[in-house]
Structure 1
Amino acid sequence: MSRWLRFLSVHSALCSLLIALPVNAVEPLKLYGTESVYRVERKGDPIGEYRLRFRPKPDGSFAVEASMQLELKVLGLFRYAFSYRAEELWQEANRLKAMTVFIDDDGDTREWRVERREDGLYRLEGDKQALRLGDQLLTTNHWHPGMPHQTSVLNTLTGDVSRLDVQSLGEEMIQVGERKLTALGYRLGGDLEDTLTWYDSTGRWLGMEFTARDGSRIRVQLQAANELAERGAL
């Protein structure tokens, strides 16, 4: 088999694994363990950390805690800090039950929550009228392997629903610790046009890249962890 045909065969197999993965079959603890840590970089320099924690519930539901802490100095003159915390509660892998979000954007704070009612998911914020968002929505915390196959998602930074027009970018190698992983890349498109995201063949999220308000590119990348290596995931 030629090298080109071998490449096409491997690429097709990886795509099939992700596309065929049943949403209800997603088991976060098997993908990530109880915690997954990501390094955040700007122009190649570390500026913070993104962290996911997974907690199973006795009734079969599970919680996902996402947090991000960023801090940087611009031209050495002033400091910018960003803090983000979110907790998602899932009845099952494709049914979000509730969510809370707190954002501190360099002193400008915002807090809102989502709750499931009979006719779908609603955003509640302060004394504003509850806003219906939809029903079966994944979130932009990115951990769910079904993310690249959505046409709309709950944007956890804005509290709105973002439209997607996902394009596959094919394979590339992603460095995780001392190892390289074969990853499938996607451009989310639509309202998140400049956001790129990567997953491995099991559906594990490896990281993303997007443009900051100052035009610089921000890279979020999975860091090696003992629990992943012990499971043979790397």
Structure 2
Amino acid sequence: MGPVSSLIAGLILLGTEVSAAAVPPESGFAAVPEPAHQAALYDGPIIFDVIRKGKKIGEHVTRFEPADDGLLVVNDLDLKVKVLFITAFKLDYHSEAVWDESGLKLLEAKVKQGRKRRVLEGLRDGDIFSWTTPKGESLSADNPETLYPTDHWHVGVVDQHQVLNTLTGAMDDVNIRPVQWESVPTGTGPRRALKYQYEGDLDNQVWYDEAGRWVGLQFKGKDGSTVRYVCRQCGKDG
């Protein structure tokens, strides 16, 4: 996407086109909260409207639920693009991840695009997180405490140089650099947020507010159009 990262090679990105101030020397966030503390910042689900060419084409919802062994994070994305009243593109994305104090513990992501179905499944065993890609490949990482899927809700991802692409199952190499502070639209009014640029295997922009809450995403679709996530609910400002 996504998430959700560079969804469908770039069908989704949120953005804001508002004024900005220079990035402070200490750009970024001094402390990376544990998953449960990060989730508590939102005080409920995160809800984005997905906008393309001025029209809403879908909705992305991230929900947080307690789990016996940690925090359950559920992502749902529904997209539908119509051309002359005919559905030209439709995508349904659903993922469930369990996090604990040691990081990512379990992950399952399902993508339905037309007649195509893709599934990613992963599980941590000791200090190793292993997963099977939609193509049936087996991959693993020995850093579950800093392994972030491409669902953006946790600000800790901005310090990473690799992310787990939940659409392809690949470990994408990225440079995530702070660009500038901007004012982004949210359901509770404009909010000051720091824009980050993804470079490398993914090319998109993500915004986090001063508390470290995800408030925006944007990228180019295959047709060159800009697709944006506009925050309807992403925690109260302040």
Q: After TM superposition, is the score higher than 0.5?
A: yes
TM-score (norm 2): 0.82
Structure 1 unaligned blocks of 5 or more: 1-6
Q: Match of 1:117?
A: 125
Runs of 4+ in 1 over 6 A off after TM superposition: none
Q: How large is the Cα RMSD of the aligned pairs?
A: 2.4
Identity of aligned residues (%): 30
Q: How does 1:77-226 map to 2 (within 5 A)?
A: 77-92=86-101, 95-125=103-133, 128=136, 130-136=138-144, 137-177=147-187, 179-193=189-203, 195-224=204-233
CA contact (8 A) 2:76 2:94 kept: yes
Equivalent pair of 1:70/1:81 in contact (CA under 8 Å): yes
Query: What number of residue pairs does the alignment pair up?
Result: 216
State the Cα deviation string for residues 9-65 of structure 1 (Å, max 9, x = none).
Answer: xx538x55x431234376133211231111101112100000000012345x10100
Give, as a single letter, the amino acid of the residue that structure 1 aligns with 2:75: A
Unaligned runs of 5+ in 2: 1-20
Matches of 2:181 and 2:149, distance apart in 1: 24
The residue aligned with 2:18 is: none
Cα distance in 2 for residues equivalent to 1:178 and 1:22: 25
Asked if the contact 1:34/1:55 (under 8 Å) is kept, the reply is no
TM-score, reference length from structure 1: 0.83
Contact map agreement 1:133 1:161 (CA 8 A) in 2: no
Structure 1 residue 151, shift from structure 2 partner: 0.5
Between structures 1 and 2, the one with greater helix share: 1
Change (3 A) 1:127 1:118: farther
Q: 1:126 to 1:223 in 2, by over 3 A?
A: closer
Cα pair 1:39 1:49 within 8 Å, conserved: yes
